[in-house]
């Protein structure tokens, strides 16, 4: 089974040379730390920066320079700043190649819910609805089950949706799954995790086609 860093490491392998990538808050933010160093990638943050770098050294923080998670950041060579409308033009206009975000629930038809638990938690969707409605390549990073142990990979999402039929791939602590027209296709198992354990933790339709390899981290 993977921890959050393991999930980030596995997703980092999906990041290809020349990609512009938008990383959501939480596990997705960690992905930047594990991208191969021999490829050129630019990270976009929807509050208005392209070419985001690592956190600043202590004493070098700039209140005017943050990411979408409101964390202080730095920029790399070639970076640019822009307004919010331009930022979402990059996203809706499909100029961003890969979007990685977290979720509370994903369904077998690619619906995603990650912004609201009615009557309990309402933080808002931020840029998530724009991202999932437009991006061609969306990977969800999340734990396979919630804190109560219930599956987060469902037949139908029970929470209010963020987007419909948009998720292409899900990477969890247990598995890598591709969203197909028939449901979740199991592509890879996390180290030491059996197909049966993944079946037990998946409520939505799970397709197992032959031998399922273990992830290569």
Partner 1 sequence: MINKQVANVKEALKGLSGGMTLMLGGFGLCGIPENAISEMVDMDIKNLTCISNNAGVDDFGLGLLLKKNQIKKMVSSYVGENDEFERQMLSGELDVELIPQGTLAERCRAAQAGFPAIYTPAGYGTEVAEGKETRDFDGKMYVLETAFKADFSFVKAWKGDAAGNLMFKATARNFNPNMCGAATITIAEVEELVPAGSLDPNQIHIPGIFVQRIFEGKGYEKRIEKRTVRQKT
Tell which one of 78, 123, 147, 209 touches partner 1 (CB under 8 A).
Answer: 123
Q: Is 34 in the site for partner 1 (CB under 8 A)?
A: no
Q: Is 77 in the site for partner 1 (CB under 8 A)?
A: no
Q: Is 82 in the site for partner 1 (CB under 8 A)?
A: yes
46 is catalytic: yes
Q: Is 96 in the site for partner 1 (CB under 8 A)?
A: no
Helix (H, G, I), strand (E, B) or coil at 81: strand
Tokens representing 135 are 């991006």
Is-contact 160 209, C-beta < 8 A? no
In angstroms, the CA 168 to CA 198 distance is: 18
Residue 126 Cβ, how far from partner 1 at the closest point, in Å? Answer: 4
Is-contact 32 100, C-beta < 8 A? no
Residues 167-196 that bind partner 1 (CB under 8 A): none
Tell which one of 40, 77, 85, 210 touches partner 1 (CB under 8 A).
Answer: 85
Q: Is 17 in the site for partner 1 (CB under 8 A)?
A: no
Q: Among 160, 100, 157, which Cα is nearest to 127's?
A: 100
Catalytic site residue from 40, 42, 46, 214: 46
**Cα angle for residues 77, 78, 79 (degrees, 5° grid):** 95
Tell which one of 46, 97, 105, 188 touches partner 1 (CB under 8 A).
Answer: 46
User: Which residue's entry shows tokens 């999930």?
Assistant: 7
In angstroms, the CA 198 to CA 156 distance is: 18
Residue 211 Cβ, how far from partner 1 at the closest point, in Å? Answer: 36
Q: Is 159 in the site for partner 1 (CB under 8 A)?
A: no
Tell which one of 1, 19, 34, 72 touches partner 1 (CB under 8 A).
Answer: 72
Q: Is 110 in the site for partner 1 (CB under 8 A)?
A: no
Is-contact 3 27, C-beta < 8 A? no
Residue 167 Cβ, how far from partner 1 at the closest point, in Å? Answer: 13
Tokens representing 18 are 């020349």
Residue 202 half-sphere exposure toward CB, CA atoms < 13 A: 27
Binding site for partner 1 (CB under 8 A): 45-49, 54-58, 60-73, 81-85, 87-88, 91-92, 111, 115-116, 119, 122-130, 133-134, 160-165
So which residues are the catalytic ones?
46
């Amino acid at each position: 089974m993977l921890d959050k860093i393991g999930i980030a490491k596995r997703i980092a392998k999906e990041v290809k040379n020349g990609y512009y990538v938008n990383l959501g808050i939480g596990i997705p933010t960690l992905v930047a730390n594990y991208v191969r160093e021999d490829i050129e990638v630019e990270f976009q943050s929807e509050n208005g920066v392209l070419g985001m770098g690592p956190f600043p050294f202590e004493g070098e923080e700039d209140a005017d320079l943050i990411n979408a998670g409101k964390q202080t950041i730095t920029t790399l060579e070639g970076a640019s700043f822009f307004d919010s409308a331009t930022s979402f033009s990059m996203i809706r206009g499909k100029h961003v190649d890969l979007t990685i975000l977290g979720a509370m629930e994903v369904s077998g038809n690619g619906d995603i819910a990650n912004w609201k638990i009615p009557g309990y938690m309402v933080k808002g969707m931020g840029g998530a609805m724009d991202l999932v409605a437009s991006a061609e390549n969306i990977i969800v990073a999340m734990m396979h089950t919630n804190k109560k142990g219930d599956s987060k990979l469902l037949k139908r999402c029970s929470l209010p949706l963020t987007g419909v039929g948009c998720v292409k791939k899900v990477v969890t602590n247990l598995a890598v799954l591709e969203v197909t027209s028939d449901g979740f296709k199991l592509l890879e198992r996390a180290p030491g995790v059996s197909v049966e354990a993944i079946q037990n933790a998946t409520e939505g339709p799970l397709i197992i086609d032959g031998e399922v390899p273990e992830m290569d981290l």
